[in-house]
Amino acid sequence: MRLALVTGLFGFIPAMAIAQPMGDPEAGEQLYRACATCHEIGEGARNRAGPHLTGIVGRAAGAIEGFRYSSAIGASGLVWDVDMLSRYIEDPQGTMPGTRMAYRGMADSQQRSDLIAYLASFEAEEVAIPFELSPEAAAVLAVAPDMAYGEYLSAECTACHAAGDAGIPKIEGLDPELFVTAMVEYRSGERTHQVMEMVSGRLGDEEIASLAVFFQKAQ
């Protein structure tokens, strides 16, 4: 079980701090029928052919104790944010080659947004994300942040991050440790995303530290 192997810091953050799906949860409820044969969701949900999906938005992949995941999911190390969920639901095998989920995929992006909005309505109280702070992220967090500077720099970010597009994660209210970790991973190329690698590549430690504190407070 992965969770047990991770030592160090565990970040406890509310699922909604990670992502804000923009879809119609009522339409999503209908669409969930395609998932319900294998996945329970809601209070008291248990694992069936697939793991239960309560609190899935913001949940670490492969995190449900007692469910035997494929290594495609279990060893992926990723967190199910809106974007990753959308990609996985669109094309499970293409996104996570080797996954045991026998579901063909949902092509329509509006339907995926609706479905994810429905999934997000079952929030876990608290989501434990196995999470070890890297030395690089710790170094950024040690820099004294400057709120006003962070606000000034944020104008470039909100062009995308305030748009509420289902593919763009919400960063307001994000835990600074997660924020900084994401930014240094983009900057080093460990986490790949063309735009975010370019954006973070222009930022020094002080800029990232200041942005982290600004966005944490900007709700």
List residues near ligand HEC by CB under 6 A. Answer: 18, 34-35, 37-39, 49-51, 53, 56, 61-64, 69-70, 72-73, 80-81, 83, 85, 88-89, 99-103, 106, 115, 153, 156-157, 159-161, 167-169, 171, 179, 182-183, 193, 195-196, 199, 211
Structure tokens at 177: 């440790």
Exposure string for 97-107, b = 16+ CB within 10 A, e = fewer: eebebebeebe
- Closest to ligand HEC by CB, 134 vs 193, is 193
- Report the C-alpha gap between 73 and 60 in whole angstroms: 10
Q: Give min distance, CB of 7 to ligand HEC, in A.
A: 21
CB of 39 to ligand HEC, least distance (A): 5
Q: Are 154 and 91 in contact (CB under 8 A)?
A: no
Residue nearer to ligand HEC on the CB measure, 10 or 158: 158
Q: How far is the CB of 204 from ligand HEC (least distance, A)?
A: 12
Token pair 């200041």 in the structure block, residue? 210
Nearer to ligand HEC, 33 or 43 (CB): 33
Q: Please state the closest distance from residue 71 (CB atom) to ligand HEC, in A.
A: 8
* DSSP structural state of residue 38: T
Q: Which is nearer to ligand HEC, 89 or 127 (CB)?
A: 89
Tokens matching residue 40: 């329970």
| Spatial contact of 14 and 55, defined as CB atoms under 8 Å apart | no
Contact indicator for 119, 85 with CB cutoff of 8 Å? yes
